[in-house]
Every structure is written in structure tokens, then in C-alpha cells.
Amino acid sequence: MKKIMISGILILATTGMFIMKDQGIPLEMNKNTKSNIMLVNKNNSLPDGYVPKDLVKPNIKFIDSSTEEEKQLNATVANAIEDLFSKAKEEGIIFLGTSAYRSYETQKEVYQSRVKSQGIIKANQYVAKPGTSEHQTGLCIDLTNKDRWFVEATKEATWLKENAHEFGFIIRYPKSKEAITQKEYEPWHIRYVGKDIASDIYNNNLTLEEYSQEK
Ligand SMILES: [Zn+2]
């Protein structure tokens, strides 16, 4: 995909897709994409070195091995995750954060070390190339539980699946949608999109890719 920069507007020449700057958030979208969603995946990368604004540390518990960088989230998302954690706790569900924001540099290190250890084919299978990880947006977070075993049908994963949308989050890589998201099912990875969109996606069993195409 060829990228051409023309006065702040990045045009992806071969596909007719483009990125616009809107309140400091680069939005990459095709003709049908709703303009306020940041869709980041293998085919929609962030500009090199993109750093989100308004990163803060939410008042939630992270696992001990989380780095200071990955404890950060966009400020709006930080409020939403605090609400989610406290409501869950009222219902006897205890979450822990593992990883939220990851910088371009961090992703580059992770990617390059995987290429070194396992080769480029394996690396591409399991690690997002720098600029294509949703974690670089500051809008998503990975969670776990006290057993550090956050798989389908644990009470925490079930609660998250059923309630995340009420706080503005979606399960970003749902089961049975691997062909669309190009990612394996990840019950622990939630992405903030706001309550209205999250409910719409939840009620219609969509992915962010599908939602973006339909609007
Ligand atoms: Zn994740």
C-alpha cells in the first residue's frame, strides 16, 4: 500500500482509502466508514510514530509485571474502565489490567525480537507489525483474572462479554469472527468505542470491521 502525504491528509493511493485528521485523531477509513471510529488492523495502520493525546493512568489494579507505559489509557477510556471495574466488583467479579497503551517503539521491539527468535512468518502470525496494533491507540486494554487464566466461560470472561458494552467497550476479536478480524478469539481484549456504538455492535453481533463497513 503506497502512502502519500499531502498537507496533512494521507492518501493510500492504491486502495482509494484515506486518513483524515480530526481533533488530533488520525482516522483511516474507506468511503463507508463512520468517521468517528479509529479502525486499526492489518490493513489500516496508524501513521509512523503515532502517539495518542490525553494518556493517563486509570485507578485500577494491574498485574505486577505491567510496565508503566502499558498502564496508560486515553483519559475518557480510563474513566470508563474504572466504572467497569467497580460495577464488576459489586457483582463479585474481580478484574486485573495487564496491558493497555503500547507505543510504536515498544511494538517495534516486540516484533523485531520475535522475528529474530522465530522468523518473519511466525512473527507476522502472532505479533502485530508496529503501527498496526490497536494497543498503540490508547483505546483498548487487555484484562485478566486472579487465576491469570482468562479464557472463554470463566465467570470473568462471561461477565465481560455480557456487560462491556454498557461501559462503551466491545470484545474486539470475538469468537467465530476470525476471518473478518484476522485475529484469533481474544476474550480479554476490549476496545472503547462509546456506549451507543458498543451497544449497536453487541446487539447485532458485529465486529468493528463490519460496523465500519455498514455505516
Ligand atoms: Zn490486546
CATH of the domain at 139: 3.30.1380.10
pLDDT at residue 125, rounded to an integer: 84
- Tell me, in angstroms, the distance from the centre of ligand 1 to residue 141's CA: 6
Residues, CB-to-ion distance under 5 Å, ligand 1: 142, 189
- Tell me, in angstroms, the distance from the centre of ligand 1 to residue 142's CA: 5
Q: Which residues of the chain have pLDDT under 70?
A: 1-36, 215
pLDDT at residue 34, rounded to an integer: 53
- Tell me, in angstroms, the distance from the centre of ligand 1 to residue 7's CA: 33
- Tell me, in angstroms, the distance from the centre of ligand 1 to residue 133's CA: 8
Domain-embedded: residue 33:
no
Tell me the residue range of the domain where 77 lies. Answer: 46-214
Number of domains in the chain: 1
Domain-embedded: residue 140:
yes
pLDDT at residue 139, rounded to an integer: 97
Q: How many angstroms separate the Cα of 206 from the Cα of each of 163, 165, 169, 185?
A: 15, 12, 13, 14
Domain-embedded: residue 183:
yes
Task: Please tell me the pTM assigned to this model.
Answer: 0.83
- Tell me, in angstroms, the distance from the centre of ligand 1 to residue 156's CA: 16
pLDDT at residue 215, rounded to an integer: 55
Domain-embedded: residue 15:
no
- Tell me, in angstroms, the distance from the centre of ligand 1 to residue 74's CA: 15
pLDDT at residue 99, rounded to an integer: 97
Cβ contact 115:82 at 8 Å: no
Domain-embedded: residue 55:
yes
